[in-house]
Amino acid sequence: MRAGSESKTAVLVCMGRALAHDDPGLPNFSDPTALSLLPEAARRRVASVGSRGSPKGLKTVIEHGYLLRQAKIMVARTLAIDEAIREASAPQLSILGAGLDGRAWRMPELARVVVFEVDHPDSQREKQKRVAVLDQAAREVRFVSLDLARGDLDQALSAAGHDPKLATTWVWEGVVMYLTRAAIEATLAAVARRSALGSSLTVLYHSPALLLHLVGPIVRWLGEPLRSAFSPEAMRALLGGFGFEVVRDRSVAEIGQGMSSALGADTKVAGHMRIVTARRC
């Protein structure tokens, strides 16, 4: 992230959810929070793409195509993580690198859950301004300002009132790939210490792929360079070393294919994105 600015990749994935919410071809997906969570310029871009008009100019054509594909990818990954949260049904939900996540304002299943939103102060400051217009679905939302690359997660959650004696659902979506191995292990160590039996961890991560060599320069230009990728076997070993047993590990492309053949075709490009869910053992 660039100092003083909110995460650009968080804005991009939220734009994908906003476009998917308005897409009549995706009737099983809904995220009414997404548009409200976006900065004004991003809302205008969503409106432009969502108008289904004919884009003019090569740059606009490429951008529209990217965002429409991003919307399909976000459907698959969002619904898969939502289901993991419902399955866990824990009294605490901790979203690591929450970005513009809207779950605490749109999931009725969180009505009795305390949600801890952990994120970089620059991103969190902007989000807190925008959520003021939304109705909260969770029992309580506690904002925890922290740079996961440098801060002490254990201490920050303790100060926010997280109870390590209660089961926690941990969601780490779209952050791991931007962290070094040392920062990933430091975060997992804190998660493990604060995870009572019955806790679960869902992580979206990148597996090694040629596509990352194309994506890498783009996200580096956005100020968020890629720093890690794991094979499923390496991720299983990593989580196992911190006391988590993998329940399932699927690519976003596989998840999309399981939802519909059309969505599977649209998410094929996301074969390098994987979602793993593990239980505390």
Cα–Cα distance list, 42 to 1, 18, 70, 113, 118 (Å): 17, 10, 14, 30, 23
Give ∠ CA 116-122-123 in degrees, rounded to 5: 55
Q: Using an 8 Å Cβ cutoff, are 95 and 171 in contact?
A: yes
Q: What is the pLDDT along the chain (281 residues), one digit of tens a residue?
A: 566 779 999 999 999 999 999 788 887 899 999 999 999 999 999 999 977 666 767 667 767 888 899 999 999 999 999 999 999 999 999 999 999 999 999 999 999 999 999 999 999 999 999 999 999 999 999 999 999 989 999 999 999 999 999 999 999 998 999 999 999 999 999 999 999 999 999 999 999 998 887 787 777 877 889 999 999 999 999 999 999 999 999 999 999 999 998 899 999 999 999 999 999 99
Pairing of strands 273-280, 200-206: antiparallel
Rounded CA separation 40/265 (Å): 31
> b or e along 147-168 (b: 16 or more beta carbons within 10 Å of the residue's beta carbon)?
ebbebebbebbeebebeeeebb
Q: Using an 8 Å Cβ cutoff, are 124 and 37 in contact?
A: no
Q: Using an 8 Å Cβ cutoff, are 104 and 82 in contact?
A: no
Rounded CA separation 72/76 (Å): 7
Q: Which CATH architecture has domain 88-280?
A: 3-Layer(aba) Sandwich (3.40)
Phi and psi at residue 277, to the nearest 5°: -120, 130
Q: Rounded to a whole number, what is the largest CA-CA distance in the chain? A: 56
Q: For residue 100, give the amino acid letter.
A: L
